[in-house]
Structure 1
């Protein structure tokens, strides 16, 4: 790409020198025998320049497209590798703007700005040397005109960098506002908050508009300056050059070549502001992308493979906090779940039940103690083997904008039709067969075309279909009616008898699925026993269930 561009510049700058020879020879001295060779040489140089431009653009498009594709892939892979605490800190709109807007900005600069920044600087240097060789007094004038341009460019660069970062951050904020409005449209409509949300959007849009206008004003002042200086210099050179020709100091061909070469500087100089603006935006975009690429995953694969897992799950002195400065969310958790055991986890809202279940598949890592499966610390296992052994279904089920079948087989791509239908029956989700295109029906973004109960049942079927050694159900039945819940629980008994299960429960009916019940209070397990034992001996347990079921001692 750069080789063809440099050769193209060389061919382009050679043409004025050929024109000089034509004027001073065949035109002025009537050396007509040189006209044809010089004309053919100029034509050959023009054709060579056109061919080199074609080759440059072909190489340029391939290189830049490959660069953008590689960056986008690396960025997406890094986002997938980063832990839950990263994604809880970052707004999704900011991440989206980095993957789309910022990468496009870098592509535009790498495909146009960087190339012409190098070529234009090279052309400026070479042309300046040629002008000094042709007639140094006029060359000095051209060099002097470059001083204020360089000074203004340095000032412009600092200001434009700051405002470019502000605009790109505000674009991310606006993207977040739009995304949240799109995902939460039902809540917005239900509460009649359309005007309030519109006002929030308008505030973000007005901020972005103001910053964008400030950015345009700054750039326009700079570009206007770059237009004035070259044109003023051209007038001075033309006047002084004409006087030099009249005094026989230089030939007419030299003046024409000088002016032609000088005119070839107008584009490099005029485009300098545009290219510098692109460079600043690209630097800002690269900085924003580097913030993600330089964030190293804190949860990485261990060296061990978990082959033929049995599902013996142990919590040994487990503790967890979200950051070194935050208080403990969990502490001194000790549980032993032999294969085939089902544990119901009961606790008040905010007691840490979801956090505890998230530690098993390493959505978060313990900060004290350890969790083992079949004697292996989960941190020593490879993430693929761990997460194929542990399947989770959450109270807020996430379905992707794909077919029902693709959603179901996320954890087990090789599942047969019989396996899928069995999982649907267990989760009481056979309604999927009656959708317009059956299991091939696309469920829309986040499955919003389905009801909450339908999404929960499909998420449960997905977890069951994975046939895990450890099954984690985080209040998975909360959106089901009593009748459907009873059917699901009855079917789940057979599944849970063959796997180790942790069931986050709020209802007595769900607790009845478990062999053991653990009461989570104050960040630790205070009581473990059967449902009947805790109901009889632990008032706090009775009170928790009474709030939902009306159970009294």
Structure 2
């Protein structure tokens, strides 16, 4: 697909056509109304010529009245047509904005995690809100007026020649440099517009990071540091906006100056022609009336041209997201697993990031591991051994770059993402909650349930009990309490328990847990582990264990070193046979290690 940045401005903006096609008839009617309004405005000087050359010259009051009525009628018709233009385009432009915004959000949801790893959230937010709103305003106002005003200038210039060719030539000569100035303006302003919108995205990212990290900034007294960074970015954006304003000021200078010079020369030439009898006073009056009507379209070209370039840049920016390749998609001929048993197998699984140097080894370098239905497997290893990366593969947050991962003998890439993610659920160490009610957060993975139904209530309560999340009943509105953004109004342990409840409520065949109990106190952790044992007895589970107490939940333990599984067995077996396993366990809390050893041995 051709990148927008390599396209001409008309072709880049034409990419919006699929979104505009359903409402194109109304947009065209709006443009026709605007053009008709301009034609009516151009007719007024022709009527004035007749009035000045006839009734005014003869002094007939009755004819002057009819001339005034004709001008009034034309003015009223122009006003009605301008209103019609706004009526035709208002609803369609908001429809296009809606379709663009929902399509953009849908695309963000479908793009893989690797895309979101690379992109700043502020950049995406500025595209979603500012750029799409700018496109809507341009379609409703800028595009139509640009096309209509250019046509008005062309028609009006032709009409100027009807009074005298010399006056038309003078006006045309002084108008020609405007097109050269516009071409030069496009090259300069286009670059500045892109810089400005990208810098606005960076600024949005800084605001978002500061708001989300406000506790850290306050705790370390780094508010001033954050403000200084924000100020530098805001100043950079301000300077870019000033350069944009200077560029616009320069084009406006020529747009105002040249017509004034043209008027002066035309006035001089007109007086000479009138004195020679080649031009009547009525014709000279009508000529200047026509030139006055053309003045606004000519002056508006600079503003509308800059508006178009802003819209082109906004279109480029949103299509950078639309054009991103989605590497994690549904298969062309998907398979199904009617009733998942939960046998999860990694077969020579490799993974490396796309931009990783060729000399760098794979993060996962040939993992072979099999989890039987209903088995709980703990993953242990030192930091950087590949544990977390391995847990992202069953649900296809990332895809293997070599080998495969199978669920009940079916390659996970052969299942639709919707089906796969009903069989595999995850709970992360860094629990993310949404600004919604507790009920909605816990039942997020259960599209098959009405959250307010008796069955939905039962599933939610069961999950909350397993996660020891009874604290929700003490919230102001219980399970209907809307928790704050990202759940920051709750403690870390409370967020982890709700995230765990969400994973349990999904009733998956495979449950992947990335150290989901790290923020819990010892007593609460013990209660959660006891409840989890009942759940895990029927569910295949892959658990990253950062504390030996978590190992007590597992039937078997897999030891990871340098992206490979180097040993698999029970805790007791690995303690006897693996020096590295003993080293990993000993590097954890010794009291927890003893508790885990005693728990597994018993």
Query: Among residues 205, 221, 224, which one is paired with 1:192 in the alignment?
Result: 221
C-alpha contact (below 8 Å) 1:103/1:285 kept by paired residues: yes
Q: Distance in 2 between matches of 1:35 and 1:265?
A: 25
The correspondence for 1:158, drawn from 173, 176, 187, is 187
Query: 1:34, CA displacement in angstroms?
Result: 5.2
How big is the shift at 1:549? Answer: 3.1
* Stretch of structure 1 that moved more, 265-274 or 236-245: 236-245
Residue of structure 1 aligned with 2:339, choices 308, 330, 339 = 308
Deviations 1:111-137 (A, max 9, x none): 221111101110110000000112111
**Aligned pairs for 1:112-511 within 5 A:** 112-302=141-331, 303-323=334-354, 325-326=356-357, 327-413=361-447, 414=449, 415=451, 416-511=456-551
Higher mean C-alpha deviation, range 133-142 or range 331-340 = 331-340
1:37 CA displacement: 5.4
- Please identify, of 175-184 and 483-492, the stretch whose mean Cα deviation from structure 2 is larger: 175-184
Distance in 1 (CA, whole Å) between partners of 2:283 and 2:31 is 30
SS in 2 for 1:265: helix
In 2: Cα distance, 1:306 partner to 1:257 partner: 81
Conserved 8 A contact 2:330-2:414: yes
Secondary structure class of the residue paired with 1:192: coil
| Distance in 2, Cα, partners of 1:324 & 1:47 | 64
1:82-101 equivalences in 2 (<5 Å)? 82-101=111-130
SS of 2:342's equivalent?
coil
Q: Retained in 2: the 8 A contact 1:506–1:545?
A: no
Separation in 2, partners of 1:534, 1:365: 30
Is the partner of 1:548 in helix, strand or coil? coil
- Determine the C-alpha separation between the residues in 2 that align with 1:518 and 1:97: 44
Count residues with an aligned counterpart.
553
Which deviates further from its counterpart, 450-459 or 169-178?
Answer: 169-178
Indicate if the aligned counterparts of 2:381 and 2:561 stay in contact, CA closer than 8 A.
Answer: yes
d(CA) in 2 for partners of 1:24 and 1:209? Answer: 55
CA distance in 2, matches of 1:192, 1:42: 70
1:510-521 correspondence to structure 2 within 5 Å? 510-521=550-561
Deviation of residue 249 (structure 1)?
Answer: 1.7
Deviation, 1:43, is 3.5
Where 1:335 maps in the other structure, the secondary structure is: strand
- TM-score calculated relative to the size of structure 2: 0.89
**Alpha-carbon distance in structure 2 between the residues aligned to 1:224 and 1:17:** 30
Partner residue in 1 for 2:21: none
Runs (4+) of structure 1 exceeding 6 A deviation are none
Task: Give the Å deviation of 1:35.
Answer: 5.0
Q: What is the rounded CA distance, in whole Å, between the counterparts of 1:11 and 1:266 in structure 2?
A: 15
Distance, in Å, in 1 between the alignment partners of 2:355 and 2:551 is 34
Task: Establish whether residue 523 from structure 1 lines up as the match of residue 554 from structure 2.
Answer: no
Structure 1 unmatched ranges of 5 or more: none
Q: How far apart are the structure 2 equivalents of 1:276 and 1:265?
A: 17
Give the secondary-structure state (helix, strand or coil) at the position aligned to 1:472: strand
Task: Please state whether the residue corresponding to 2:476 is helix, strand or coil.
Answer: coil
Q: CA deviation at 1:98?
A: 1.0
* 8 Å Cα contact 2:384-2:562 kept in structure 1: no
Give the deviation of 1:474 after TM superposition: 0.5
TM-score (norm 1): 0.97
Which of 86, 92, 99 aligns to 1:70? It is: 99
- What are the superposed Cα offsets for residues 253-294 of structure 1, whole Å, 9 maximum, x if unpaired? 211211111011111111111111111111111111111111
| Alignment of 1:22 onto 2:35 | no
The Cα shift of 1:338 comes to: 1.9
User: How large is the Cα RMSD of the aligned pairs?
Assistant: 1.7
> In structure 1, how many angstroms separate the alpha carbons of the residues matched to 2:516 and 2:208?
26
Answer whether contact 2:125 2:201 (CA < 8 A) is retained.
yes
Which piece of structure 1 moves more, 249-258 or 479-488? 249-258
Shift in Å, 1:480: 0.6
Tell me the SS of whatever aligns to 1:134.
coil
